């Protein structure tokens, strides 16, 4: 992605919005704005309830992808709610994409400062779409940033100019981003994040198992890897889960939890729906990313 808005972010937004079409017991996070970031023709087709209800009766990647996004969104939403409930009043969304947490969770975020940092093209499109709505919304402070071109060492000062206070705890959410960055960008971002908050700060991020990024996983994984590369957003980075605690410790971060998507699904969903998000599934029903993405929470203070 050079100077265009992220296409994968639009796919994720659509998947979150489609969660409203799932049965109530499988709905974990509502995102009414999700369809607004998808091409109108595609959005209209996805909203057609009859066709989509029929699709839900069939085993397939679409249903699994939607349930998967419900789980990922809910885990991070819960981490945010827990942080705010403990007194945290600063939230930073790194590579925010079309994440609408500042609006979806406005009731929980009352009195908190929410900062969104993202690629200028994606953020510009997001703001234009949200600003066109007549619905009341939570407030967010926007900072355009190109993670591959702008020095990450400059980010703390830029955030301070926007009102961020490094002397207070901050929850940093880095969702669906790390796999698209280079090693150097990962290192620079972690170094910048490390100084963004006081004791009690948290970094929540999602990541792919390194085998998934390198194309060493089964063929559905390799197919998905080729697909995202085709739209100009290739996967570049991943961690081996067993090596992550040591990698973080070397950078003065403490791993609090590291949860696979199947583990999170088993905790949040009834068994019938948790089975949609599992590491090993029939090849006809498999979604390549499921079972390989994980959600890590680290302490920064």
The residues, ordered by sequence, that sit 6+ positions from 71 with a Cβ below 8 Å of its Cβ are 28, 261, 264, 265, 268, 269, 277
For range 232-255, the mean pLDDT: 89
The order of strands in the sheet holding 171-174 is 141-144, 113-118, 90-94, 171-174, 202-208, 293-299, 254-260
Question: pLDDT tens digits, residue range 4-17?
Answer: 888 888 888 988 98
- Residue 102 in any domain: the answer is yes
Please determine, for residue 38, whether its predicted confidence score (pLDDT) is greater than 50.
Answer: yes
Per DSSP bridges, beta strands 293-299 and 202-208 are antiparallel
* Distance of alpha carbon 114 from the chain centroid: 16
If one counts the domains in the chain, the total is 1
- Residue 2 in any domain: the answer is no
- Residue 181 in any domain: the answer is yes
- Residue 67 in any domain: the answer is yes
Please determine, for residue 51, whether its predicted confidence score (pLDDT) is greater than 60.
Answer: no
Domain of residue 11 covers 7-299
Name the DSSP letter for residue 175: -
Q: Which of 62-71, 125-134, 217-226, 281-290 has the highest mean pLDDT?
A: 62-71
**What CATH code is carried by the domain that includes residue 281?**
3.40.50.150
- Residue 1 in any domain: the answer is no
- Residue 57 in any domain: the answer is yes
**Three-state SS across 76-133?**
HHHHHHHHHHCCCCEEEEECCCCCCHHHHCCCCCCCCEEEEEECHHHHHHHHHHHHCC
- Residue 68 in any domain: the answer is yes
Phi, psi (rounded to 5 degrees) for 218 = -55, 170
The pTM of the full predicted model, rounded to 2 decimals, is: 0.87
CA–CA distance, 244 with 159 (Å, rounded to integer)? 27
């Amino acid at each position: 992605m050079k100077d265009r808005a992220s296409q994968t972010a639009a796919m994720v937004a659509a998947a979150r919005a489609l969660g409203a079409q799932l049965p109530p017991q499988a709905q974990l996070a509502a995102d009414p704005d999700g369809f607004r970031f998808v091409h109108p023709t595609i959005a209209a087709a996805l909203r057609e309830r009859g066709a989509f209800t029929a699709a839900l009766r069939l085993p397939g990647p679409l249903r699994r992808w939607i349930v998967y996004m419900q789980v990922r969104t809910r885990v991070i939403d819960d981490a945010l709610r827990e942080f705010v409930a403990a007194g945290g009043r600063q939230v930073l969304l790194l590579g925010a994409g079309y994440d609408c947490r500042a609006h979806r969770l406005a009731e929980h975020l009352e009195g908190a400062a929410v900062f969104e940092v993202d690629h200028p093209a994606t953020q510009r499109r997001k703001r234009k779409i949200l600003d066109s709505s007549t619905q009341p919304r939570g407030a967010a402070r926007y900072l355009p940033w190109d993670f591959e071109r702008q020095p990450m060492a400059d980010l703390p000062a830029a955030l301070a100019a926007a009102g961020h206070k490094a002397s207070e705890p901050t929850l940093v959410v880095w969702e669906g981003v790390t796999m698209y960055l280079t090693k150097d960008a990962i290192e620079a971002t972690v170094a910048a994040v490390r100084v963004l908050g006081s004791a009690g700060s948290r970094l929540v991020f999602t990541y792919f198992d390194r085998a998934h990024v390198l194309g060493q996983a089964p063929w559905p994984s390799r197919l998905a890897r080729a697909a995202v590369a085709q739209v100009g957003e290739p996967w570049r980075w991943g961690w081996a889960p067993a090596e992550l605690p040591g990698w973080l410790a070397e950078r003065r971060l403490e791993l609090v939890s590291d949860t696979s998507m199947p583990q999170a699904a088993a905790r949040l969903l009834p068994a019938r729906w948790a089975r949609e998000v599992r590491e090993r599934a029939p090849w006809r029903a498999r979604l390549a990313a499921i079972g390989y993405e994980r959600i890590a929470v680290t302490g920064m203070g």
